[in-house]
Amino acid sequence: MSELFAQLRPELTSLMDCFATPAVLLRQDGTVITANQAYRRRFGDGKPLQGRSCDGILAAAGYDCHSQGNLCPLEACGQTGLEQHVLHVHDQGAVQIDLYPIRDDEGVPRYFLELLSPLLSKGDESTSMVGNSPAWREVLHLIRRAAPSDSAVLLLGESGTGKELAAAAIHRASPRSTGPFVVLDCSGLSETLFESELFGHEKGAFTGAHSRKIGLAEAAHGGTLFLDEVGDIPLALQVKLLRLLETGQFRRVGGVEPIHSDFRLIAATHRDLEKMVTEERFRRDLYYRVNMFPIVLPPLRERREDIDALAEALLHRLPEGRRLRLHPDTLACLRNYDYPGNIRELRNILGRAALLADELWILPEHLPPHLREGLRKAEPPSLPGQAAAGAVPEILPLAELEAQYLRWARDNFPGDRRSLAHRLGVSERTLYRKLDQLDAHQSHVPPVA
Ligand SMILES: Nc1ncnc2c1ncn2[C@@H]1O[C@H](COP(=O)(O)OP(=O)(O)OP(=O)(O)O)[C@@H](O)[C@H]1O
């Protein structure tokens, strides 16, 4: 890094943090000079990004720049000298990349500002599945495996873990994507209602059946039928559902004509279906029929690494959330909570906070009190001599003591560098200088933010 960049790094990072979307400043060879918080959260792996190649960072986050005919905007800009706007398509979804050359006084592009806006694979923003943790990547891997086949998929997981979103993603990535995606929530339906919802009814079939109604099984023809909370289907109706799944045929309530429907089945439940089978509350034959390809969606507390990115994405989806930013202390609280209601609960917490926040920042005070208790309080390192009280303290050079404390603060402080500098009572520039000195002595250390 040139001396000038070394001196200006705090200012540059601060400038980059003005962008809400992931932004990175690159050299001509694609190595990173600095990146903003949004970039580190979305694509970072917790290790320092500075000096690493941008395509290596993206590849590690599951966005392979060289796959599927993607063009490198940096190369194109190097050849033409012009800003580039390209769409990269990845298995994880699409990313809009806007690359702007930063020219020297002779007009030669020397550095490049890259803004990345992750888009959705297909569909709109509200259907994107955010997450990059190992647990979530495994789910995405299974979804990709299951999607092209016609096999029935069973989505298992606690309420609010994204089962419906996953079902829609499987449908969108399947050969039936141009067909309908029909959802039937099986919870809380009486037997009569369930039957008439699934199979439809003829006019006059029962009191109140004033006209013929097409059932959801029929409406799903050519597409996907998603049975949410399949464990809630009354035992008496399970046999009718099994017959439908086995033969693809059914009759409307009050009808005599057999109707054929060709759909792919995806079912979901938060219940332990296997246990229900042993307790004879769920038919074993139906269980085998729906459980051809099980996918377990992990609870949010088992994929805490995704909380930052999820919180940003969910906030952005709220109408009042687009103007707001999550303060590092708020993110620290969000990371430490267990979310019995999973992603739905996180979304609701953010919705409430967005209404309470007047200014730019969502602060811990905008969160429910039980989340604020989670503010992380790591113990400072035991200083030399402190562990063995009464022992003769080991005398260390002050500089070494400061380095030890700084290392601890850097590794444990949950916020960004600006807040850390503030807490340490030094300028951001001084903090950067001191951290650079630490880095010079020790490579492969995690960044502050
Ligand atoms: N990976 C994800 N990325 C972004 N948003 C998500 C993700 N997973 C779930 N959500 C959001 O969380 C909310 C709950 O998701 P969803 O309804 O799919 O959960 P569910 O498991 O089907 O819940 P339930 O069992 O109660 O029906 C939705 O608003 C959904 O958009």
Alpha-carbon gap, residue 226 to 181, rounded angstroms: 7
Phi, psi of 229, rounded to the nearest 5 degrees: 55, 50
Q: Which residues contact 222 (CB under 8 A, 6 or more apart)?
A: 176, 179, 180, 262, 263
The token duo for 14 is 């601060």
Q: How many CB atoms lie within 10 A of CB 142?
A: 19
Identify the bridge partners of residue 153 per DSSP, sorted by sequence position: 266, 293
Domain boundaries, the chain: 3-121, 134-300, 303-372, 398-413+415-441
CATH fit for domain 134-300, picks 3.40.630.30, 3.30.450.40, 3.40.47.10, 3.40.50.300:
3.40.50.300
Q: Span 3-121: which CATH code?
A: 3.30.450.20
pTM over 0.80: no
Domain 303-372 has CATH 1.10.8.60: yes
| Structure letter (DSSP) for residue 102 | E
**Residue 21 C-alpha from the chain's centroid:** 15
Alpha-carbon gap, residue 120 to 93, rounded angstroms: 5
Instruction: Please tell me the distance between residue 224's alpha carbon and the centre of ligand 1 in angstroms.
Output: 18
Alpha-carbon gap, residue 305 to 335, rounded angstroms: 8
Q: What is the pLDDT of residue 446?
A: 37
Q: How many CB atoms lie within 10 A of CB 108?
A: 10
Burial of 422 (0-12, 13-18, 19+ CB in 10 A): middle
Instruction: Please tell me the distance between residue 113's alpha carbon and the centre of ligand 1 in angstroms.
Output: 34
Identify the bridge partners of residue 26 per DSSP, sorted by sequence position: 32, 112
Alpha-carbon gap, residue 218 to 199, rounded angstroms: 7
Residue from 133, 161, 227 whose mutation best tests the ligand 1 pocket (most atoms within 8 A of CB):
161
Q: What is the mean pLDDT of each run of 10 residues along the chain (449 residues)?
A: 69 82 91 88 82 89 72 85 76 74 89 80 58 89 90 96 94 90 89 88 77 87 95 92 94 90 96 95 96 97 93 88 85 93 96 89 92 60 46 62 80 74 83 78 41
Alpha-carbon gap, residue 185 to 408, rounded angstroms: 50
Residues in the chain: 449
The CA angle 391-397-399, to the nearest 5 degrees, is: 130
**Beta carbon of 97 within 6 Å of any ligand 1 atom:** no
Half-sphere exposure of 48 (CA within 13 A, CB side): 18
Closest atom of ligand 1 to 157 CA is 21
| Structure letter (DSSP) for residue 126 | G
Burial of 298 (0-12, 13-18, 19+ CB in 10 A): buried
Q: What is the pLDDT of residue 122?
A: 39
| Residue with the two structure tokens 């307790």 | 279
Residue 329 φ/ψ region, left for φ over 0, alpha for ψ in the -120 to 50 degree band, beta for the rest: alpha
| Contact assessment for residue 356 and residue 324, using Cβ atoms and an 8 Å cutoff | no
Closest atom of ligand 1 to 346 CA is 12
Alpha-carbon gap, residue 328 to 330, rounded angstroms: 5
Is the CA virtual torsion 14, 15, 17, 22 positive or negative? negative
**Beta carbon of 160 within 6 Å of any ligand 1 atom:** yes
Complex-level ipTM: 0.97
Instruction: Please tell me the distance between residue 431's alpha carbon and the centre of ligand 1 in angstroms.
Output: 40
Instruction: Please tell me the distance between residue 347's alpha carbon and the centre of ligand 1 in angstroms.
Output: 9
Alpha-carbon gap, residue 370 to 341, rounded angstroms: 14
**Beta carbon of 343 within 6 Å of any ligand 1 atom:** yes
